[in-house]
Structure 1
Amino acid sequence: MTRTDAPAARTDALHRLPVRAALPALARALDDHGAAVLCAPPGTGKTTLVPLVLAGLAADGPGTSSPSAPVRRVVVAEPRRIAARAAARRMAWLLGEEVGGRVGFTVRGERRAGPATVVEVVTTGVLLQRLQRDPELAGVDTVVLDECHERHLDADTAAAFLLDVRAALRPELRLVAASATTDAAGWARLLGDAPVVEAQGVSHPVEVVWAPPRRPVRPPHGMRVDPALLEHVAAVVRRALDEREGDVLCFLPGVGEIGRVAGLLGGAGALGGAEVLQVHGRAPAAVQDAVLAGGSGTRRVVLATSVAESSLTVPGVRVVVDAGLAREPRTDHARGLSALTTVRASRASARQRAGRAGREAPGAVYRCWAEADETRLPAFPAAEITVADLTAFALQAACWGDTAASSLALLDAPPAGALGAARAVLTATGAVDTGGRPTDRGRRMARLGVHPRLARALLDGAREVGARRAAEIVALLSEEPPREYGDDLAAAWRSARRGGDAYGARWRAEARRLEGSLRVVTGEAAAPAGRTGDTPGAGALTDDAAAGLVAALAFPERVARARGEGAYLMVSGTGAELGDASRLRSAPWLAVAVADRPVTAASARVRLGAVIDEDTARAAAGALLAEGEEVRWSAERRDVVARRVARLGAVELASSPLSTPDPGLVRAALLEGLRAEGWGLLRWGADAAALRQRLAFLHRELGEPWPDVSDAALLERAGDWLGAELDRARRRADLERVDAGTALRGLLPWATGEAARLDELAPERLEVPSGSRIRIDYGGEQPVLAVKLQELFGLEETPRVAGGRVPVLVHLLSPAGRPAAVTADLASFWKDGYRSVRAELRGRYPRHPWPEDPSTATATRRTNTRRP
């Protein structure tokens, strides 16, 4: 291979990269351990110089490589396509070459590499696909995992697979985990206590300017960002242009916010000639390349998502405006909803963003939040494995041979619930068998390079609508169309076909890639140009029907039936609502492709859906179709409902009454009703309620064999005490005829003979000295005997129950039946308390006896015959 000497500018650029000082230590670490963690601040050259040196294309001292330097093949894995393309172009420029020669790149849908390529930059997703096809990575000497501190799921997974490769197949394969932060201890442990090599950056000072909004703004909620904050960010950008020199890089959470701020800024004329550029994952590659190539003398305002945090230097930037927001994935596993949500950016991200202002010269960062809020920010962004949908990860692990993902070397273990939900999806789509092992179908799905749900839709949809149309629809689902395309998937498909916008171009490229991948994994030949259906009858379905079928195949649990104008019930059990202006509002059935559910909302909001019919719903979500007898307690009817029901998940398709329901199911439904409505469903007379109180008292005071009659205990033993009455009952009316008191007596300890002592231990009534039989109230903590004071004359000791263990609490009543005194010690009352009661009441009740010595007086229920 003939090597081309780089021009002086490129040689000087290589020589000035600060990471060069750390290269000898990195070489020793790789020679001694085969792995290393490289910590290098942004702008030091870790992404560009290190791979060239490891490949032998540049010397580790001043200047470029020598002709005798050994050439090693190096693969560099980047988390984003924009970073992969930019890194390859920068390294090729440093060598004075074009991309595709000794330096190339491969991202999804685009490859510029050839036989001469020595350094290949790939996305972590591409690296995973390559590892599954060729675990040995034949011919590769070194793999560099760049920006590993960002904790993307693909990067974590690739690192785990590479460690397996080193341990089992290729111990000579060298690994470098490159991080832009100094938090490298975890990666060092993961790589087998690998050495940590630190490079010192040539950092320029960055002044921090705190620029919080003057008025409070609402915190982010789901995908929503308060428009007042975006107006403030636009104002701060204008302020930065006025106060500082150089280009401005403004960080915003997503494409929508970038578009709104761009509109508020109003273009070059409104900004004194400054050019407004938008950089995000959906931006055309030409725009991304232009931003990274630098300006041509005109000031620039670059509005970017977090893709600009860790990619290569954006030339000319001296000012950063940070909105302080980021987007992270969140998954509602119970409802099958996955979406991005807006969160406060972490302190680590804020440092990364600020560093962009000091790459080339002193700069400034304008932070759109108060300094006091800084400590409340999370220290680091959440590791994606802890918050994301793990279906693709679970399929990757299964195809790798670790069905439980338990032996992979990961910094964070996948949450058990999320992994369980992922395995359920894979089982339902036929990607894995009941043991979690990948099927042939699952391996084909993994090779398609899309989420397993979309892979299932592509494979199965192609048989119904043709490979090309299935690929086009799945391409729409893999990258949500712009909001201006509307919420109708079929209409968005037609717009993408017509559109000459950036999304349309990306969509067509992805559709071609998917169709090609599909034909590779299924062994089919490519379709002739212009042909839209590859299976007999595949073209018979309209675009609307095809879009609905493919979307339903991808998200069967989101198939939904109308239950009101614009309101739907998904088969998962989650409600869904369409926007007021949606053209889908009259559809009887929907295939919901994109939806999110705000934290406080009862229903999900449909962002993208397609009209389907019931037959399509049944076909796509057939695994959720069930028919059987349903006998349950209806809270609405407050009675037993017995039906034969056909259901598609939570959606009821048809029902008919059951004339002879299973008695066991009826019994269970009646018990459900008792739990829901309480024992008031039975007939409780005063005697029954009193008996329950007496039994509760004896259980509390004496324990076994006296039964526990609490609600929970009665439900648990319902078969014992309701017995035949419950077996004969069929509906609420039957329960209402059951005498609870008679049934309760079945719980008495008849077998031990103790039941005969009920009236002795907890008498229902107590005879007092006047001859009256007074009912005892057992409903409180202590039994209560409420009796007129004159009826207890001559009774010196307090009555006791429970075999003499418990004194009753005597409520002494006036002749009018009103409380006069309460005592659990009659002897003490006659001696000390009676006198004051007598003095207070004798004047009011002169016709009743008030003896001076009540302990020797005769008890009576009557009044005196004459005044004393």
Structure 2
Amino acid sequence: MNPAWLDLPVRSALPELRRALAERGAAVLEAPPGTGKTTLVPLALAGLLDGDPGTGAAGTAGTAGTAAAPAERRRVLVAEPRRLAVRAAARRMAWLLGTPVGEDVGFTVRGERRMGPRAVVEVVTTGVLLQRLQRDQELSGVDVVLLDECHERHLDADTALAFLLDVRAALRPELQLLCASATSDTAAWAALLGDGAPAPVVAAQGIQYPVEVVWAPPPRPVRPPQGLRTDPALLEQVATTVLRALRERDGDVLCFLPGAGEIARVAGLLAGAGGAAEVLQLHGRADRAVQDAVLSPAGDRRRIVLSTSVAESSLTVPGVRSVVDCGLAREPRTDHARGLSSLVTVRASLATGRQRAGRAGREGPGAVYRCWAEVEDARVRALPTPEILQADLTSFALQAACWGAPGGQGLALPDPPPDGATAAARETLTALGALDADGRATARGTRIARTGLHPRLARALLDGAAPVGAERAAELVALLSEEPPRALGDDLTAVWRTVRTGRDPYAARWREEVRRLRRQPDAGDSKEDGAGARRADRAVPDATAAGLVVALAFPERIARARGGAPEPGARASYLMASGTAAESAAGSALSGAEWIAVAVADRPAGSPSARVQLAAALDEATARRAGASLLTVREEVRWVVPPGSRRGDVVARRVESLGAVELAAEPLPAPDRALLRAALLEGLAAEGFGGLLTWSAEATGLRQRLAFLHRELGDPWPDVSDEALLEQADAWLEPELSRARRRSDLERIGTASALARLLPWASGQAGRLDELAPERITVPTGSRIRVDYSADRPVLAVKLQELFGWQETPRLADGRVPLTVHLLSPAGRPAAVTGDLASFWREGYRAVRADLRGRYPRHPWPEDPATAQPTRRANPRRDG
């Protein structure tokens, strides 16, 4: 056995850990990266460290120098969040034991398994663990399960933990469960694992050398990330900082970037820097030769390792003395309203930053170069957001339903799933036939879950085998499962042809996934092989097969070009069946296609349209076939305003649609009355009562008087605003509204008589309308002058001479509101405004008299207007 295991810091915590598991059956291991928690702990728990006095089968420490009795071998299952980490952990453990992978330690990932008959430690992805639990809830033969990197809060890991707690509580209380975390926030895990009292937390102290923090922000401000876009200026600064670290420090440089695209861009920038070191690109899709090179001890030449988050805690990259951190990470986001799921670039949390920095202090003093200003840390969240709070929950919901916990009810999850995401997932699964009306998994749902695919892709695999052949269905679903590099283009059919003959790492992974899918018991082998499959293969061209399979997986993303087939090479605008707009890129290989099925799309921040990343062309017949569940025929009666016009009208049609995509329409001669009524009300809401109904002077005056009384007295006087009138349409527009069919019918409605229906007849107050808000007021000359209620206060505009002798200004609304009087000159022009006539006669009249009597000498201007005789006429002309 390799003596290197004796130097791993976690070794000192093994006795306490074994005691905790023996006494409580569950524990939390807190151990920083590099302590050996992923590699040494499973070997110790499996009894593969014979001869070490601190790890005997009894779980107690022995005397130094005294060999312990051979440990009893136990089956240990280790779950990692990533396939790359699974292979690396298995290789490292086998290296420590001095045995080949598969003999004592093996691994299983989707599509690959290396486990010999003697192997007792198996490393798997959390996805594989979930599949195994669904097939065998007891995990027969397994003694210990170690869930590694729990702090990363991946959804599969949270789900697996909840299932395992169910197993311990109901089926196998002897099954030991260990959660390993590289961070110190272990209280929540201890509470979940504990039965009444928190589970023990065992801490292992790592050997961490000091790490100097060097702040290296870009020289000028950079734009924040949007979607998957990262400002090129930041990537240029990262490349510059990598070269700086290479000059200033010894050892290798580990650089963290959010995704493979950014890694390729920075690698390109470094390629032109003189080749000072070997540049390795590490991400989930990297070639295995590259992964092996990164994880192997450094040689004579220095290395620059450009990595995604896979190197934060799950993997150990030897030789690193400098870390360059761009400060960004990728997280899943789901737009449930539009049915779009994608990754987005965000600021990495403070905890993630600490994880990354720690990689520089593993083997000696190091430095972390942070490509942002220190002050920005004040606005950064402390911990990563749990995936369950922001991801598509369709797979989780199906797993939970197959487990017997629809919607996750009753599961001991660190965070409950959000209601909105759960409802969206249930709706999707019900449409796929995977759940029944009560949310329980159907037989079809169980078949879908067993594929290990996202439920949408599993549906495409199962239902696509008959029409296109099982082999081609598997090939296309593998393209959707193992998303191809963007460099291959956006036309899935063209990508398919390229990958079929490819020899690159992606093509190799794709072929592995195809073989795995063909081995699926429910993938159509028994029914579609042979003559049936050959007939399907001959009948359906590749292009049609690609469109059909994508549309089966994402029927709500079947899309039709707006305005007919677009011009080849032009940017095309589409409407998806979900109602979401989408655009293809200029020069897209899909240009000219009227119908497409969108496999991958994202929606840039602030954009009303989704951006098509990968799609397949299809025809209308294929769209109808794949989207049969979305086909509807409906009577559509709407208020429509033609382009270039402000005057709308009712349009009644019988419409056949695929979701939001209109397929055909014809006029509807006798539309349903309720639909007509709703359309007319839609028109009233859109154009307003002032623009659509005809308002006579009488109707306008009545509406103004009612508005005045509602404002001043409230109930029972009605609100007659546009909003209130629309809400009360039943009360005042019937029966005219029920008889109307079009705009002209509304324009003919007698609004004065219709509005009178809103008067408070039942309370008897309607009869007081003229008393509280009189339409006209009689002035001292006997003239009946109309009151203007259009302003906030009612106004009486009358010639000054007609008010001589009038001492008190009238008050309206039961005396609450004084009438505002506009005193007019003999020519009808405003001369003064008052709400208190007596005061005006005393104080204001003299100035008005002096100003006007010279201009209007034939009109009376008495010294005392309060006692003068009112008149409508001028003084008689004097002859002579």
Q: Normalising by structure 1, what TM-score?
A: 0.95
Query: Greater CA deviation, 622-631 or 804-813?
Result: 804-813
Q: Distance in 2 between matches of 1:129 and 1:560?
A: 34
Which residue does the alignment assign to 1:101? 103
Residue 61 (structure 2) aligns with: none
Please point out which of 166, 176, 189 is paired with 2:168: 166
Task: Give the corresponding residue for 2:121.
Answer: 119
2:627 maps to 621
In terms of mean alpha carbon deviation, does 208-217 or 818-827 score higher? 818-827
Q: 229, 235, 244: which is aligned to 2:240?
A: 235
User: Which amino acid in structure 1 is aligned with residue 97 of structure 2?
Assistant: L
Q: Tell me which amino acid in the other structure corresponds to 1:324.
A: G
Aligned residues of 1:431 and 1:439 also touching (Cα < 8 A)? yes
Q: Which residue of 2 aligns with 1:544?
A: 543
Corresponding pairs, count: 852
Instruction: Give yes or no for contact 1:57–1:64 (8 Å, CA) kept in 2.
Output: no
Out of 765, 778, 799, the residue aligned to residue 776 of structure 2 is: 765
Shift in CA distance, 526/702, structure 1 to aligned 2, threshold 3 Å? closer
Deviation at 1:845, TM superposition (A): 4.4
Give 1:173 shift: 1.4
Q: Is 1:649 matched up with 2:648?
A: no
What's 1:700 paired with?
711
1:856 and 1:539, CA in 2 relative to 1: closer, same or farther beyond 3 A? same
Q: Provide the residue aligned with 1:77 in structure 2.
A: 79
What pairs up with 1:735-746 in 2 under 5 angstroms?
735-746=746-757
- Once the two structures are superposed, residues 720-772 of structure 1 have per-residue CA deviations (whole angstroms, 9 ceiling, x without a partner) of 32212212211001111112112212223445554333323321110111222
| Closer, same or farther: CA 15–407 of 1 in aligned 2, 3 Å | same
2:210 corresponds in structure 1 to: 205
Matched, 1:28 2:40: no
1:663 aligned onto 2:673: yes
Contact conserved, 1:552 with 1:621, CA < 8 A, in 2?
A: yes
Are 1:136 and 2:143 matched, yes or no?
A: no
The 8 Å contact of residues 329 and 387 in structure 1, kept in 2 or not, is answered as yes
**Separation of aligned partners in 2, 1:554 and 1:578:** 20
* Bigger mean CA offset, 762-771 vs 747-756: 747-756
Match of 1:302 in 2: 305
> Residues 470 and 524 of structure 2 are in contact (CA less than 8 Å); yes or no, is this contact kept in structure 1?
no
Cα RMSD after superposing both structures: 2.0
Instruction: Spell out, residue by residue over 1:342-365, the C-alpha distance to the aligned partner (whole angstroms, 9 max, x if none).
Output: 111111111111111111111111
8 A Cα contact 1:465 1:533, kept in partner: no
Pick one of 344, 347, 351 that aligns with 2:354: 351
Distance in 2 separating the partners of 1:752 and 1:25: 84
The aligned runs of 1:312-391 (5 Å cut-off) are 312-391=315-394
Aligned to 1:41: 32
Counterpart-to-counterpart distance in 1, 2:66 and 2:118? 18
Structure 1 Cα separation of the partners of residues 669 and 40 of structure 2: 80
Aligned partners of 2:461 and 2:523 also within 8 Å? no
Secondary structure of the 1:404 match is: helix
Aligned sequence identity (%): 70
Q: Deviations over 1:584-631 (max 9, x none)?
A: 111121111111111222211111111111111111111111002111
Describe the SS at the equivalent of 1:393: helix
Looking at structure 1, the residues matched to 32 and 538 of structure 2 have their Cα atoms a distance apart, in angstroms, of 55
- Per the alignment, in what secondary structure is the counterpart of residue 537 of structure 1? helix
Structure 2 counterparts to residues 786-865 of structure 1, below 5 A: 786-865=797-876
Residue in structure 1 matched with residue 600 of structure 2 by the alignment: 594
**1:266 paired residue among 254, 267, 271:** 271
- Contact 1:57 1:65 (C-alpha < 8 Å) held by counterparts: no
**Cα shift readout 1:374-421 (whole Å, capped 9, x = no counterpart):** 222221221111111110000001001011212111111111111111
Counterpart selection for 2:685 from 648, 654, 675:
675
In the alignment, which residue of structure 2 is the partner of 1:428? 431
CA distance in 1, matches of 2:397, 2:18: 35
Shift of 1:535: 5.9
In 1, Cα distance between equivalents of 2:11 and 2:101: 23
Q: Secondary structure at the match of 1:576?
A: strand
Structure 1 counterpart SS, 2:562 = strand
Cα distance, 1:510 vs. partner?
0.6
Match of 2:569 in 1: none
Aligned partners of 2:209, 2:670: CA distance in 1, in Å?
84
Distance 1:406 1:841, change over 3 A: farther
What is the CA distance between 1:284 and its match in structure 2? 1.7
| Deviation readout 1:72-117 (Å, 9 max, x if unpaired) | 2111111001111111111111111111111111111111112211
Q: Secondary structure at the match of 2:514?
A: helix
With 327-336 and 634-643 compared, the bigger mean Cα shift is at: 634-643
Give the distance between the partners of 1:221 and 1:705, measured in 2 at CA. Answer: 55
Pick aligned residue for 1:475 from 469, 474, 478: 478
Q: Distance in 2 between matches of 1:202 and 1:848?
A: 109
* 2:94 maps to which of 92, 95, 98: 92
Q: How far off its partner does 1:294 sit?
A: 1.9
C-alpha distance in structure 1 between counterparts of 2:209 and 2:526, whole Å: 57
Q: Name the CA distance, whole Å, in 2 between partners of 1:154 and 1:814.
A: 86
* 3-state secondary structure, aligned to 2:312: helix
Matched, 1:717 2:728: yes
Which 4+ runs in 1 deviate beyond 6 A?
62-65
Contact 1:219 1:226 in 2 (8 A): yes
Q: Distance in 1 between matches of 2:193 and 2:800?
A: 88
2:153, 2:856 → 1: CA distance?
88
Q: Give the Å deviation of 1:258.
A: 1.0
Residues 576 and 606 of structure 1 are in contact (CA less than 8 Å); yes or no, is this contact kept in structure 2? yes
Residues 123-167 of structure 1, C-alpha deviations (whole Å, 9 max, x = no match): 100000011111111121111111100000000111111111111
Distance 1:532-1:222 versus aligned 2 partners, 3 A rule: farther
CA contact (8 A) 2:462 2:523 kept: no
Write the deviation string for residues 505-542 of structure 1: whole angstroms up to 9, x where unpaired: 0000011101112x356673896xxx897364344211
Q: Report the secondary structure of 1:534's partner residue.
A: helix
Mapped to 1, the partners of 2:212 and 2:574 lie a distance apart of: 53
Partner SS, residue 315 of structure 1: coil
Partner deviation per Cα, 1:431-465 (whole Å, 9 max, x = no partner)? 11121111111101001011000000000001111
Structure 1: which amino acid aligns with 2:587? A
Q: Does 1:560 align with 2:562?
A: no
Structure 2 counterpart of 1:502, which letter?
Answer: P
Greater mean deviation of Cα atoms: 716-725 or 491-500: 716-725
Which residue is 1:3 aligned to? none
**Distance apart, 1:704 and its partner CA:** 4.1
Q: What letter is aligned with 1:540? A: A
CA offset digits 1:459-485 (Å, max 9, x no partner): 000111111111110010012211221
* TM-score (normalizing by structure 2): 0.94
User: How has the CA–CA distance of structure 1 residues 673 and 156 changed in structure 2, closer, same or farther, with 3 Å as cutoff?
Assistant: same
2:663 maps to amino acid: L
> Aligned equivalents of 1:95 and 1:135: distance in 2?
31
Q: Which moved more, 1:565-574 or 1:119-128?
A: 565-574
Q: Is the 8 A contact 1:313 1:359 kept in 2?
A: no
Q: Distance in 2 between matches of 1:526 and 1:541?
A: 14
Contact persistence 2:333–2:392 (CA under 8 A): yes
Deviations along 1:178-205, one digit per CA (max 9) or x if unpaired, are 1111111221222222122222111111
Specify the alignment match of 2:454 in structure 1: 451
Residues 18 and 818 of structure 1: is their aligned pair in 2 closer, same or farther, counting only changes over 3 Å? farther
Partner residue, 2:650 = 640
AA aligned to 2:554 is F
Residue 612 of structure 1 is matched in structure 2 by: 618
Q: Which amino acid aligns with 2:526?
A: E
- Structure 1 CA distance, aligned partners of 2:359 and 2:531? 48
CA contact (8 A) 1:14 1:63 kept: no
Name the amino acid aligned to 1:44: T
Decide whether the 8 Å contact of 1:39 with 1:182 is kept in 2.
yes
